[in-house]
């Protein structure tokens, strides 16, 4: 059908609107990147926009030359991989079980799970619990306390509920038990929601620093986010990274926030394009009951 003038005008309006939204979304990030490569004087005077001014790599050089930074970066990768794996297993198992209407006490378990979204023991009891379990200064203090997100579990439960019951009935007739149906039938058909959960949990684990701040005392166990947070919070971080002069200290204090943001989000930005298509379809499939 031929488009009317109103439809063409509306389409043009949408194009300009989306371009404006994209620009407003990208501008803060591009400004941060520009500041990370700019000189201290230009940053303090507010002259840096989308293009770096007074090109300077001093802060990058000092941070990347620090062995502690790379140790903490490796820790973050380990925490993210282990934490995401544990979270994905727990979320899948609980979501699949609660998606079955034949499960006795299903409503009670769902209500109990939702209750924990709004109420918890609090910071001090959580710390006492982790300490009493002997998990302080271990990887488990970082990956276990927030291993299961009830919100993510509810999305996955809705996705499993949208699957035809005939699939499981046919698999059961063929001799598969519950675990066989889950691993051989359900999970291969759940790639979109699994990719979505991996993205959610991986981003959360990668950006997390508060748990490590509470439960870890040894610097060699810190995630990179906590290392960079300490760099931002005081000049002592710059000294540890190798700053040896007042000029270096001034330059580092000027763009340390920008440099740390870039170094932290770079891996996530690199991975996201490969899972973006699963992310969109997974959210839609998990949120709408078919």
Q: What is the pLDDT of residues 141-196, one digit of tens each?
A: 999 988 999 988 998 898 888 888 888 888 888 888 888 888 888 888 888 888 88
CATH 1.10.3720.10 fits 57-287, yes or no: yes
Sorted by where each begins, the domain ranges of the chain are 1-56, 57-287
Q: What is the pLDDT of residues 231-287, one digit of tens each?
A: 777 644 444 444 444 455 556 666 777 887 788 788 878 877 776 776 666 556 555
d(C-alpha 41, C-alpha 21), whole Å: 31
Contacts of 114 (CB under 8 A, 6+ apart): 150, 154
Q: Is there a contact between 238 and 251 (Cβ–Cβ < 8 Å)?
A: no
SS3 per-residue string spanning 101-126? CCCCCHHHHHHHHHHHHHCCCCHHHH
Higher pLDDT, residue 129 or 120: 129
Q: Is there a contact between 109 and 167 (Cβ–Cβ < 8 Å)?
A: no
pLDDT at residue 251 in the model: 61
pLDDT at residue 260 in the model: 78
The mean pLDDT of 216-238, rounded to a whole number, is 76
The pLDDT-based confidence of 64 (bands split at 50, 70, 90) is confident
């Amino acid at each position: 059908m031929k488009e009317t003038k109103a439809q063409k005008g509306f389409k043009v309006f949408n194009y300009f609107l989306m371009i404006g939204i994209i620009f407003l979304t990208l501008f803060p990030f591009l400004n941060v990147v520009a500041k990370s490569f700019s000189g201290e004087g230009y940053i303090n005077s507010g002259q840096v926009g989308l293009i770096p001014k007074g090109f300077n790599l001093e802060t990058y050089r000092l941070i990347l030359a620090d062995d502690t930074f790379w140790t903490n970066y490796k820790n973050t990768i380990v925490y993210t991989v282990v934490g995401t794996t544990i979270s994905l297993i727990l979320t899948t198992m609980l979501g699949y079980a609660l998606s079955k209407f034949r499960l006795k006490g299903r409503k009670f378990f769902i209500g109990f799970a939702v209750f924990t979204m709004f109420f918890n023991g609090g910071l001090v009891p959580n710390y006492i619990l982790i300490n009493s379990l002997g998990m302080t200064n271990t990887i488990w203090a970082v990956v276990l306390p927030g291993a299961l997100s009830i919100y993510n579990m509810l999305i996955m439960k809705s996705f499993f509920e949208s699957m035809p019951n005939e699939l499981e009935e046919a698999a059961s007739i063929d001799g598969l038990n519950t675990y066989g149906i889950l691993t051989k039938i359900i999970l291969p058909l759940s790639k979109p929601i699994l990719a979505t959960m991996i993205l959610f949990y991986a981003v959360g684990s990668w950006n997390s620093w508060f748990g490590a701040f509470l439960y870890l005392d040894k610097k060699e166990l810190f995630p990179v986010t906590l290392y960079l947070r300490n760099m931002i919070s005081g000049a002592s971080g710059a000294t540890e990274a190798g700053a040896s002069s007042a000029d270096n200290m001034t330059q580092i204090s000027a763009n340390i926030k920008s440099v740390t943001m870039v170094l932290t989000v770079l891996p996530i930005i690199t991975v996201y394009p490969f899972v973006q298509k699963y992310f969109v379809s997974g959210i839609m499939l998990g949120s709408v009951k078919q």
